[in-house]
Structure 1
Amino acid sequence: MEGCNEYVYKQEINWSLLTEGITLPVENQVVFGRIMNRYLTKGEQKPIKIFLNGKSYDAKVVNVNFDKKFNRKTDVIQIRYPRNGDLARELQQIFASSYNFFSNARKIRPEGSRSIPKLPEDVKEYLAIYTTEYDDTYEFDTIGVTDIEAVKQDVAGKSEYLYEANYDIDMEDTTSTINEVQGVYKVRKLNRKIGDNLKLLYGYRCQICGQLIGEEYDSHVAEAHHIDYYVNSLNNDASNQMIVCPNHHRIIHDADPIFNRIGLKYVYKNGLEEPLRLNQHL
């Protein structure tokens, strides 16, 4: 069923998320965008349910109706929950180290300042949001520092191409603790779901050559590639993934070209330059 456990957003933990809500982009979130188009009109808000760690929490989803003078071309969706209410307190407990960091930063900031620093790179934590089979219900999945540490151990010494090719979120690991396995599973799931969303965004076409592989067989064969290799960067953001055909995926890992993010093109060691033919998210 479309809409069941599909990727909505990955949010780095910040003060707003820990206290009252999250702002979500819609333009590149395919399934979530379809749900919002049929569920919520501009300026409207509706109640929703959030599931986190087996518990249900009341919240609301809002299509923020900004003043026309801002000339916004896309909708802005917010998930809001009672300030420091049950859901907020649960998130504060799960992300206790992040909450303490932000609380202390607020105490020492200059009087009148509203700025709060971001979490240091080595202690960043994340919230992943997924759809369910119901338009008014969403799942929160937490990714903490210990989960990321487990992933670092999981990718250590592994080949990027083989790791991507075997990125099975259900693969067994008999050498890790239960918590480590759960942490790796959550990150693998997020990685896979972000890639799946991008495949939908591009209709399973390769962003480099534009080809749709397997159409004559009533099949779609497309792969998600990490621009900055995941085994080195641990970056599974959509901005670090592109959709490619199997041929281009293998060539990239064999030839190891440099991706020019300004020109949106691969530059190979023999001088060949290959620009993206399709791009909606980079």
Structure 2
Amino acid sequence: MIKTISDEYVYKKEVDWSLFNYGFAIPIEHQVVFSQVAGRFIQRGESKVVNLYLNGKSYKAKLNNNRIDKKFGPHTDIVQIRYTQNSDLAQALRGCFQRSYAYISKMKQLQEKGSKKHIPLPDNYKEYLAVYTTEYDDTYVLETIGSLDMEVLRDTISGQSERIMEAQFNFDVEDDTAGLKEKEQIVKIRKLNKKIGDNLKRLYGYRCQICGRLIGEKYGSHVAEAHHIDYSVKSLNNDASNQIIVCPNHHSIIHDVDPVFDRGRLIYIYSNGFEEKLVLNQHL
């Protein structure tokens, strides 16, 4: 039995055509887990074989660290998990996500031959693959989050306060109102969501992205919280691209005033006209 190290998390990947056929890339904001948890981080140009466990069965894949052209920005490395279209892993993933695979395959048939245009899944079809590190630096555990799991989450959190939901993600607050089956699905998703925020906290050294402060530093402590830009109770979007790391003061102010976030300028605009730009950003 492969056990995870403190349930460490690497990446939550939305299901797409590439996942079913070739593999997926791990964005820069998630690579911190590799360097801090999974042993020696592979250097640029290196590749190694890794074991991926899905539903208790082991599959082989390659972990690559590739150089990318500087014209794509300052992130000069791209980490990928790769496998072949006919591999056992690709076939197993298609079996786990039959609904979304059938939808994407149908849309592919309607595209022009040779088209590589991305096919987005409708909200009620969206499914995810979570990747967790283990006690071995060449072994990862894959966990599926299907459309049914997302439906249960949507029904359970309907009408809840965003502040309460974020407390669950930040501090492992449990929901005692959910039934047993619902609780199993919600705990799985909440664990994943918490790890997404935890990874971002590591990425920013527990500093607030708005003021840059490390709260509690003089006490030998650090207090940082993950905030959802588009409130998760409505969007169900807990990806890193929808989260920022803030100090408790800024988190409370944002929920009290509900300012508008300008993604283009990375600025919060308050109702009194005050504007506040993120002073730290490595992932948005």
TM-score (norm. length: structure 1): 0.89
Unaligned residue ranges in structure 2 (runs of 5+): none
User: Any idea what the Cα deviations from partners look like across 1:102-154, whole Å, max 9, x if unmatched?
Assistant: 22233333334344522223211111112222211112111111111111122
Instruction: Kindly state the Cα deviation for residue 192 of structure 1 after the two structures are TM-superposed.
Output: 0.5
Question: What corresponds to 1:227 in structure 2?
Answer: 229
RMSD: 2.6
Paired with 1:19 and 1:186, the residues of 2 have a C-alpha distance of 26
Name the stretch that deviates more: 162-171 or 180-189.
162-171
User: 5+ residue gaps in structure 1?
Assistant: none
Aligned 8 A contact 2:50 2:61 in 1: yes
1:87 is displaced (CA, Å) by 1.6
2:207–2:245 contact (8 Å) kept in structure 1? yes
SS at match of 1:5: strand
Q: Closer, same or farther in 2 for the Cα pair 1:268/1:135, shift >3 Å?
A: same
Q: Which amino acid aligns with 2:52?
A: I
Q: How does 1:82-121 map to 2 (within 5 A)?
A: 82-115=84-117, 117-121=119-123
Aligned residue pair count: 280
Structure 1 residues 35 and 172, CA, compared in 2 at 3 Å: closer, same or farther?
A: closer
1:204 to 196, 203, 206: 206
Are 2:179 and 1:176 equivalent residues in the alignment? yes
Amino acid at match of 1:200: R
Aligned to 1:243: 245
- Deviation, 1:64, is 2.7
Question: Distance between the aligned counterparts of 2:107 and 2:118, measured in 1?
Answer: 6
Q: Which residue of 2 aligns with 1:265?
A: 267
Q: Deviations over 1:66-90 (max 9, x none)?
A: 5789898521222122433222222
What is residue 142 of structure 1 aligned with on the other side?
A: 144
Kept in 1: contact 2:29–2:283 (CA 8 A): no
Quote the sequence identity (%).
Answer: 55
Change (3 A) 1:28 1:144: closer
Deviations along 1:209-256, whole A, 9 cap, x unmatched? 111111122111111111111111111111111111111111111111
Deviation at 1:49? 0.7
Moved over 6 A (4+): 67-72
Q: Give the Cα separation in 2 of the matches to 1:270 and 1:189.
A: 37
**Matches of 1:68 and 1:271 in 2, distance apart?**
38
Secondary structure in 2 matching 1:253: helix
**Aligned counterpart, 1:254:** 256
User: Which amino acid in the other structure matches residue 126 of structure 1?
Assistant: Y
Q: How does 1:23-102 map to 2 (within 5 A)?
A: 23-26=25-28, 29-34=31-36, 38-65=40-67, 73-102=75-104
Q: Using the alignment, how far apart are the partners of 1:5 and 1:16 within structure 2?
A: 26
Which residue in 1 is equivalent to 2:217?
215
Going from structure 1 to structure 2, the CA distance change for 1:71 and 1:202 (only over 3 Å counts) comes to closer
Quick check: 116-125 or 185-194, which moved more? 116-125
Q: Are residues 43 and 29 of structure 1, via their aligned partners in 2, closer, same or farther at CA, if it must alter by over 3 Å?
A: closer
Amino acid at match of 2:86: N
Aligned to 1:16: 18
Deviation at 1:3, TM superposition (A): 6.7
Alignment-mate amino acid for residue 47 of structure 2: Q
Q: Distance in 1 between matches of 2:108 and 2:161?
A: 42
Distance 1:131 1:277 in 2: 31
Do the aligned residues in 1 keep the contact of 2:28 with 2:75 (CA within 8 Å)? no
